[in-house]
Chain A
Amino acid sequence: MRHTFKIACVLTASIILGSTACKNDFLDRNPLNSISSQIFWTSEADVQTGLAGIYSRLQQNFLGYERVYLDGLSDNAYLDPGNGNQPNMQILTTGGINAGVTGAIANMYSTPYRAISSCNYFLDNIDKAPVSEENKNKYKAEARFIRALCYFDLVQMFGGVPVYRNYLKSLDEYKIAKSSQEEVYTLIEEDLDFAIQYLPNTRYNGHAVKGSAQGIKARVLVTQQKWAQAVTVLEELMSSASGLFALSNNYAALFTSAGQANAAVNSEIMFSTQYLGPVNPQRTSPGAAGMNIELGWWSMMQPYKDLADDYEMKDGLPAGESILYDPANPYANRDPRLDLTVRLPGEVWRNASGAAWTESYTTATGFLVEKYVDLSQAPFTSATATTTDQDYIHLRYADILLMYAEAKNEVLGAPDQSIYTAINQVRSRPGINMPPVDQERYNTKEKLRDYIRHEYRVEFALEGQRYNDLKRWKLAHIKLPLLKTPSNTPLVFNEYNYLLPFASSELLNNPQLIQNPGYN
């Protein structure tokens, strides 16, 4: 009897102990289909995965291909109000900017912060991983480069914003006052300086490189009108660019997947948001879309005549002064970049096999976006969405040259040859071959300044740059009200619209945040 009892006790005790004692981590359970931070950051591969996560944030909203729509906020193009992915964007141009409006404006605020959050999370954790100091610094430099890019976006849109340098643990730590514009720029420059120091000085191949950071730093500086510093950075960049960066030999091909795969073309690209079909194209969700479909088929953005008219004639003269101008055929004999950027009235699009693509939705302005539309893929159907994977170019070498021209012009009392040379390089690239700048005509700082701005517009038209350029030149409130939408509503840009408002929900959820002037 006692025997049974003992056996039973020992047996029971061993069952309980066996199931409990040896498992101290019984209550530590990690997700099975996503990676718990508890088990991450243990190898270099983890770090690379985390880094790819940061870059993937660039594919969202205005950090990715949809950035081209920012031209719709400028004098370059009209936005179709029907863009479901960026709702309420068109009304921003006709006086609809206020704190209550949601959609596109909310994306302009939240998307950079999503990327910033990823960067901070990465930066706060990478030191846990066993990675060589050199590589660690390179990875950090990439993350800080992207963080700078995002804060730069925010500061241009909203002015001073809340700045987070770390991934914070409690909700209250996020509810802070905004930093001043200067403070935001300080962080941006710090990040970019770190990136310039630690990124490899190589050709761009998807990962940010030293040239990417130098170029963005230059843009940050010219935006702040720190001209002399900009010239220094740009000269450094240009002197080491040989073999790394050069203008593309084919302007049109810069904006197609096939072109971007060609070394002679992609040498111009210094930073871009990358896509790769069929798994990771521009957009398949919530519906099949992307540039080909949205611009080439649905006509979501339609260039204004004002843009088309701004292109010079082939001889380098404005349309009104050139003998090449034919009022019956106003867009013939123009700067070749016009036809490569805009579908002109009467133009028939054909794909590689010569078949016409005529299904584009009607354009109210008479023009369609051609840049970034890959006609070789026509006819566009929802099935072509998975092959629409053109990279959106944030920075290309032409930008470096024009920024150099602009900054140098501001630094000097009167233009020197280096300025003309930089502009001429852009104008005379293969396939464009526009004549050099008329140095007689644009012989003063002021005249040349206007001309450089003009060159910016035609070179980068419909790439999403114009809105920020007009703002940094303080021209938006002058230029935009001169235009009307196709339905004859005048465009509105008030002085206070140089900064966008914070959403009223944001003010509610972060009581420390103070609204930008003009929106209360």
Chain B
Amino acid sequence: MQAFKLTLFSWGRMCLAVSFLLINVCYSDAIYAQAPGSLLISGKITAENGEELPGVSVKVKGTALSTASDVGGNFKISSSGNATLVFTYIGFITQEVAVQNRTSINVQLKTDSKALDEVVVIGYGTQRKVNLTGSVASVSGNTLTQRAAPNAASLLQGRVTGLQVTQNSSEPGRDNPSFLIRGRGSFSGGTANEPLVLIDGVTGSFSNLSPDDIESVTVLKDAASASIYGARAANGVILVTTKRGKKGQTVISYRGNVARHMPTALPDLITNSAEYMEMFNAAATRQGLPATSQYPQTEIEKYRNATDRNQYPNFDNVDYYINPATVNNHNISASGGSEKSTYNLSLGYLDQNALIKGYKFKRYNGLLSYTNDISKVVTIGTSINATYKDRNEPPFTGENLTLAIYAAGPLYGPFLPDGSGRIASKAYAFEGRNRNPQEYYAMGNQSTKEYNFNGQAFIDIKPFKGLTWTTKVAMNYVDEYYKMYQKNYDAYLFQKGPTDADYTYNTFGPDILGVTDQYSKILNPTIYSTATYNTTIAKDHNVRFLAGYEQLFYKNQNLRGRRINTVAPVLTDLTGYLPGQESLYFNHPRLPSLQAPSEWAMRSFFGSANYNFKGKYLLEVNARYDGTSKVSPDYRWGFYPSVSGGWIVSEESFVKDRFNWLSNFKLRASYGILGNQDVGTYLYQDNLVINNIFYPFDNSTLQQGAVNNVFRDQSLRWESTKMLDLGLDLDIKNGLLGLTFDWFNKTTYDILASQPIPASLGLTAPTLNDGRMRNRGIELGLTHQNRIGEVTYGANALVSTARNEVLDIRIPAESGANIRKIGLPYDAHYLYVWDGIFQVEDIDNPSVPKHALNMNPKAGDLKMKDLNGDGVVDVNDRMVVDGYYPDFSYSFGFNVGYKGFQLNAFFQGVEGIKSRVNNWGIDPFMQGTAPTTKWRDAWTPENRSNELPGIYIAGYSGVANYGSSTYYLQDASYLRLKNIMLSYDVPVSLAKKVGAKNLGVYVSADNLFTITKYEGGDPERASPTGNYAQYPQAKIYNVGLNVKF
């Protein structure tokens, strides 16, 4: 750590040195032009807010004479007295000013909000938004940083139609959201459904970026816009562009954010010990458990009447272990450039404390980008993004510690009541418990240190007008060092018997004793080269051609070792341990999954052609030809074409003349084919396994053997997706009302899935292309922006849907609580239908159907519907229940601005999703988990509830046997105030006094409130099934400061 700090420091110093060098280079350029026999005109260029604008291009119209403004916005140029000067600056409306023999001309440029949006990053280039024919959404970095979440990727939530962003957890360093564009596309889970994310055109990790370093994010949703990425684009593409310097004045900016994280929702568990014990006994009695498995009345009374709450606590574990946490985020950057070069140097630091003790995450970011026009035709540049992530955790992660907190119950705290500091395991010997959370802290910890380096260099060559040849070489390198450290620890029963001399020793002990280290690294170099040619033929025919080549290589390697014995358990290094009981590549469900070393490579040729006639009729063709190492040479190359067209109706004179309020009206259509390369490596090869294969000929030495275990089909191909998209864009009165609408039909085919095979094959089942799945949906975006006097205000709303349907599947599955069958959404809920509670008179009542999974029900058990009316509730009485996928997701926001004040509010929601969740926090006494307070109203013979069964101990057959029923299904729809932010920009004049160009402060809150029917926890979850207990989601209060110098 110390060493790293030094490195970071010296590295930072070096960067600073380089940047100062660059700044000097910028300043050394003389910025004026003069022609003989003419006026020398000088002046100052400012923005509407008075800010001096450097780097504005000033041109004498109709000549080659040009210059640019200096750091103070000043320019000098010579021209004739009757000439016209043209002022051009990106983001501002170009202005033409007639000289009229003046020698001093001051110009105020107006910002062009439309122009800002106009150029969109697309695959291997940029395009004017009006000319897009595909379904492309883009978000600016400024919009993203209106929120201040620690993870850059989660900032996309609710910002783009068709992109479902799910924040699985707020666990520090494990809060990467999952992305899904236009629904689930593949049978296999995990990354096979995730979009391709490219940082500045090459593979990288979104969450490694500092949010402040993002210039823009583009999401390519349809086949037309994504097919230029061919076999990697089936699930859509997210293009992240990082900030680069702008020609002109140096800008040093700083943003600091301090956040306070709090849990959004937690279950309301009973914390009164006597009540807890009585409820437990009631449950145990109902289930017929013997008195030895119940709390003796004497002990209950001790808790009830205790004066010493140290000895007999009503301990609130949730309150003790889950607490608000502070998160600091700082970013400082220096950017700028001369006429020939630009640079941007940015350093970021995130220090994230956790809601649950023991978790801690730190992230350090560095971004350096630099470009230089080494001649009029050649520009070179580089971009280096380095990230170091340091994550420390207890030995259990994710929901595991949360559920242990729930499971601990109120009868004991973390430590023994005698003040010795010894750890309590549970109160009484008979209790069935998880480890007391404090035991986890005593047991050890785990840590992950990840170094991430993403470096790229490019060269642009523009040999003649219209042609750009770009070549980029990039390397993504990830180096990770993981450590699990556990030692033996002591724990005792909290309650001592009257005759016991000391507390009874009682502990589960560690589960992965000793030191387990893993080193892994990923190398991922990319090279691509594209040539783009733009031209206009015969005035009306605008064409653009792109041709390119790309190759990718990926390799991962890792080494894991474990040792168990040491004389000094405090030692945390492998070498401090005895050489016995050691193993390589030791695996355990709670360790990161073992990654087999692998490599793959891709080589691709691609191209596109755009044509537009008079800016009205647009046509675009894209194609990519991809070759991969993952597929056998005979089937290796895949072709992914797309075609799209657009008609800008508003450019037609018959529309323009009549409806001049219609600023833009475009109809779009696209169709194309995409591939999914995320299919696992080596699937087509006969691979001889040598791991643990031996034969001891002669009974004295082991001969290494090799066997072929899996049948491979050489004709394996990539999964493919075809997609039709119809859309329209509408803009009324330049932003007063904007509308974007898309309808899509996306079918994935040749889905890779395991196939049933005869056992006589003698091999395990191969993965083959078989299966089809469709997603259909619509996306609608609305914007409104207006200004009344000094008040600007706006509103926007997004809605997206995606309906999933399996069209073909070789092995349907309906054995569990989820069904895979043609005509249904993949993995749809397939459940028994809960029909209230068995009442006393229902028992042995012939008109009440028999329950096959609970043949001798007790009153108070769950009752199910006999759907087919045959008198027995069995597997044939399950039905498909909606809610595995949401009906739609949506967001809407408002903004109001007055002078320097700006108020933004942004709501985000998901509708129609239902989660089937159980265990800790919802099932009473799951490993001791206290019931929630609603269980006070549980069914009893007197309280004939039809809502809650009789109190039970989790696992009780009268409830647990119908775990796959709608009883456990909860509506997880929600609408939340995702973010509200109030910011104030100090007037420029005032800011100047402190030496700043811009100064802004803000307060904001994330997830301030959530409207949901979901009980006791946060409805946003990684999966609509599984454990109810989750690492809590966070409500975040932010205070922040933006300064620009």
Contact = CB atoms under 8 A, between A and B. Distances in A.
A26 B551 contact: yes
Contact of B705 (A9, A12, A53): A53
Contacts of B708: 37, 53, 117-118, 121
- Which of B695, B702, B766 has the most A CB atoms < 10 Å from its CB? B695
Given A114-B762, A115-B762, A12 B757 contact: no
B694 A510 contact: no
Given A16-B529, A274-B699, A170 B713 contact: yes
A508 interface: yes
A120 to B, nearest CB: 8
Contacts of B698: 205-206
B293 to A, nearest CB: 26
Interface stretch (A161-169, A189-197, A305-313, A369-377): A161-169
A275 B698 CA distance: 10
Given A117-B761, A276-B702, A279-B702, A5 B461 contact: yes
Nearest to B525: A19
B493 to A, nearest CB: 29
- Which of A8, A114, A164, A274 has the most B CB atoms < 10 Å from its CB? A8
Contacts of A55: 695, 697, 705
B381 to A, nearest CB: 13
Contact of B766 (A4, A33, A171): A171
Interface in B755-813: 755-763, 766, 768
Given A35-B690, A113-B759, A29 B599 contact: yes
A50 B713 contact: no
A261 interface: yes
A104 B177 CA distance: 45
Q: Which 6 A-B pairs have the closest CB atoms?
A: A117-B762, A206-B697, A276-B696, A52-B705, A53-B705, A113-B762
Given A1-B377, A49-B705, A52-B695, A509 B756 contact: yes
Contact of B549 (A16, A54, A260): A16
Nearest to B598: A32
Interface in B589-618: 596-603
Contact of A8 (B378, B685, B703): B378
A300 B459 CA distance: 74
Contacts of A121: 686, 708
A113 B689 CA distance: 18
B428 interface: no
Interface string B453-468: 0000001010100000
B688 A34 contact: yes
Interface of A: 1, 4-5, 8-9, 11-12, 15-16, 19-20, 26-38, 40, 48-59, 106, 109-110, 113-118, 121, 161-162, 164, 169-171, 174-175, 205-207, 257, 260-261, 274-276, 279-280, 389, 391, 503, 505-506, 508-510, 513
Contacts of B702: 276, 279-280
A170 B185 CA distance: 27
Interface of B: 374-378, 380, 459, 461, 463, 469, 471, 473, 527, 529, 549, 551, 553, 557, 596-603, 627-630, 633, 636, 681-682, 685-691, 693-708, 711, 713-714, 755-763, 766, 768
- Which of B690, B700, B703, B714 has the most A CB atoms < 10 Å from its CB? B703
Nearest to A58: B695
Contact of B629 (A19, A27, A51, A110): A27
A4 B377 contact: yes
B375 A169 contact: no
Nearest to A9: B461
B599 A12 contact: no
A11 B553 CA distance: 22
A37 B758 contact: no
B706 A8 contact: no
Contacts of B473: 15
Contact of B685 (A31, A51, A513): A31
A171 B471 contact: no
Contact of B713 (A15, A171, A503): A171
Given A29-B629, A389-B696, A505-B759, 19 more contacts: A8-B380, A20-B551, A26-B629, A36-B685, A37-B686, A37-B708, A50-B705, A53-B688, A53-B705, A55-B697, A56-B695, A59-B695, A110-B760, A206-B699, A257-B699, A274-B695, A276-B699, A506-B759, A508-B756
B697 A260 contact: no
A57 B695 CA distance: 9
Contacts of B471: 12, 15-16
A114 B600 CA distance: 30
Nearest to B707: A53
Contacts of B553: 26
A206 B701 CA distance: 11
Nearest to B374: A4
Contact of A260 (B551, B630, B699): B699
A205 B628 CA distance: 47
Contacts of A11: 459
Nearest to A41: B688
A31 B628 contact: no
A17 B469 CA distance: 15
A12 B529 contact: yes
A162 B758 CA distance: 10
B690 A34 contact: yes
